[in-house]
Structure 1
Amino acid sequence: MRAHLFPGEADQWGNAMTDAYDALERGIQPADVAAKLTRAGIDVDPGWLTSRFGAVSPSEAAVAAYVEARSADIARLDPTRDELADMVRRIISADALSEWWVAVLSAHVPHPAPIDLIFHPAAGTPANEMTPEAIVDRALAHRPIEL
């Protein structure tokens, strides 16, 4: 997969989020922690931070914040079919950047919920149609119903 498809500053955001989680564990107020993150270039709401703390790992929270902050960048990416299939593989394997891969995949296929094709396929879907390539083909082939 081409390097530009990977999130650029996610590692730095992960370190900052780890520090934020440590501060929350020490009893520092979420508003103060969020303000410190903002100074580091990560703009999160204290409520957002509180909802993630304890529910997901710092690295998962960092990726979620990164995805929210980079939606315009995600839209400009131009992944190939093979790269989309690699993203599906990474999502299936619970890659640490899964939320990033879901966001990129979702932005570049017409299917409204490609994650459902991965984890909630239609009943009776044959196993040979559950390969990453087949999932991408289904997501790319989707055409919205015109009303």
Structure 2
Amino acid sequence: MSMELLLVRLTPAQQEAIAADPELLDLVFPEDEQASLPGVLASLHIDADTLEENYLEISAILDESVEEYEWMRKAANGTGTTIRFDFGYGDAFVLSPEQVAEIAAGLDAEEWLRPDSDEAGSVLAVAAFYRDAAALGRGVIGGVG
């Protein structure tokens, strides 16, 4: 079985457009060929602004310690705000630019991005994605599919 963590970093205007019409996420993460993105989403760079990582690998690391990794849990599972769009395993979570910055700082404090890390590539990719999204002032919408 495959479970992927799907994340997209968005400007506030892009995030607002998706919150108003969650089905736009079908265009961001298409099952088939990538279609052109309409309106405010047209400036989204699919390769740079999306991330797909192995959720089972991430959750296995998080399951090693239920008391640790608070920030990676928030990065992989959101913090409570959702929109009605089912990636396959529940609704999509929505994180504001402020929440993304807080999570990125927390991931840094948990030392996910240290150069000598021996952690799996999936968690390192998630941490780097949040760091970059925070640096750009972007929000994140994500879920597990």
Give the TM interval when normalised to the shorter protein.
under 0.3
Alignment TM-score, normalising by the size of structure 2:
0.27
User: Structure 1 or 2: larger helix share?
Assistant: 1
User: Structure 1 or 2: larger strand share?
Assistant: 2
Alignment TM-score, normalising by the size of structure 1:
0.27
Structure (1 or 2) with the larger CA radius of gyration? 1
